[in-house]
Amino acid sequence: MPLSPYPPTRSLRLALIPLGIGLNMSLGTIVSMLKLPIYLDMIGTIVVTILSGLWAGVIVSATINPIYYNFIPTAVAVALFTHIAARKGAFRTMGRTVLAGMAMGLVSGVVSAPIIVYVFGGIVATGRSVMTAYLLSTGEQVLKAVLLTGAAAEPVDKVLQCVLSVWCINSVPKNLLQRFKETGDHAGAMTQRAWAPATEVSQKISQSIHPVARGLASLIGIIGVFLADNVVVLVFVWLGVIVPLCMTTGISRKHMRMNGMVVLPLCLMLVALWGWIVGAPPDQVPGSNPEAGMQYALLISFRLAVVGGIFQLCFLSIPQAELLSTFWHWGIRRDHLIVAIGAFTIWPELKLRAEQIITARYARGLLPDRRLISRFRQLPYLLRPLLVWSLRAAVQRSELWDQKRLLDRVGHIRHAYEGSRLSGVTFIGISLVWLVINLVDI
């Protein structure tokens, strides 16, 4: 790779990471609006890993999703594979890119299989679950059925994502792409330059709940959810605790949208699989106990609904003015603090950009019909402007950060908590009671 006349600065790499995170999330908007039967949730990871190295890709891949946070190991494995493949020249030609995508799909399928089995009950809300259901109906073991399904479906998805990622990178103007290229290993992007000495500044912010209490209560609550094995109790917690708290904090619409788009379809598929097709939970003989199979499906579904609600309450209810202080108290400092704040603030803008691109193509008559093949053909032309805008935005942000010495200033601010500690103690107490109840039931 030729040496760039503008070697990537630390601020440029840090500015690219939140945009990669936002790219992963905003592409879900494109897929949803085009109603495509695929997930393009790894393109941001692949692009950032190719341009900025392994650690940048790992940070992008480790971003928490309220429902699919369980697949973080899969995303990290994809980032690691992409880094190794890029160093071996696997993305230099289209043929090599296709082969790399197939291998990436196999890696992704193997890593995802235990997660799908033990967290999602054997299926996810995609078309691949039809194959899993068929294999289970023939008496195949759950893990083997999921592995076979992943080996058949994942390579197709990953080949598409690799081809789109490389095509988009190659279509970026050369003068812009050169800003992100550098000779040699750039895995140490997060520690490229030492922090300049500066006087530490203490800053006090009044918050409704202490950030440590917020995080600790959420963690304890999630552990309790996975220990719970009673559907009625989970329904009560969701209706009596999660939903009222979402309404109080103003995120009820986001919570209901998540349940309607993700949890409800998954619930219907789980009920059909374990209550009707298999007719028993995984640990029983197929067809022996349809009622227990349905209860198992509902248990998985309400676990996901409650855990998703806890994640949303933990992150989405943080006021914009309290983001910096909250992450600081969680131990996220310096470069990682910049990345975390950037990821939270860039996502709405990227989502808006994605919607504008699709709306513009509809308005110009570039989407003549709604056939599936026509919608697939639009993907490259939708992704390219979004990626170019993301890279230009990263350059502009990094230059602004350098001018204002933002990275050094943020790293030396200490945040003190101001507010009542009663609310934090109350939430931790409720979470502990919930955990103890489920431990006693075990």
**DSSP secondary structure of 331-371:** T--HHHHHHHHHHHHHHHHHHHHHHHHHHHHHHTT------
Nearest to 85 by CA among 58, 104, 108, 59: 104
Does residue 401 register a pLDDT over 90? Answer: no
Q: How confident is the model at residue 1 (pLDDT cuts 50, 70, 90)?
A: very low
Structure tokens at 113: 């299989």
Nearest to 300 by CA among 271, 279, 277, 272: 271
Is 210 strand, coil or helix?
coil
Q: How confident is the model at residue 368 (pLDDT cuts 50, 70, 90)?
A: low
pLDDT > 70: percent of the chain: 81
pLDDT of residue 193: 42
Does residue 398 register a pLDDT over 90? Answer: no
pLDDT of residue 190: 39
pLDDT of residue 409: 67
pLDDT of residue 159: 93
- For residues 211-216, average pLDDT: 91
pLDDT of residue 192: 41
pLDDT of residue 196: 43
Q: What is the mean pLDDT of the chain?
A: 80
pLDDT of residue 237: 94
pLDDT of residue 372: 63
Per-residue model confidence as pLDDT tens digits over 154-200: 898 899 899 989 988 888 888 887 777 653 344 343 334 433 444 44
- For residues 106-124, average pLDDT: 86
Nearest to 33 by CA among 356, 253, 338: 356
Does residue 137 register a pLDDT over 80? Answer: no
Contacts 24+ apart (CB under 8 A), 29-35: 29/351, 29/354, 29/355, 30/354, 30/357, 30/358, 30/379, 30/382, 30/383, 30/386, 32/261, 33/354, 33/355, 33/358, 34/358, 34/375, 34/378, 34/379, 35/375
Does residue 303 register a pLDDT over 60? Answer: yes
- For residues 233-258, average pLDDT: 93
- For residues 328-341, average pLDDT: 79
Delimit the domains of the chain by residue range: 10-190+332-411, 208-318+418-441
CA 409/CA 198 separation, integer angstroms: 8
Does residue 124 register a pLDDT over 80? Answer: no
Which residue would you say has higher pLDDT here, 95 or 333?
Answer: 95
Per-residue model confidence as pLDDT tens digits over 56-81: 888 888 775 555 677 889 989 999 99
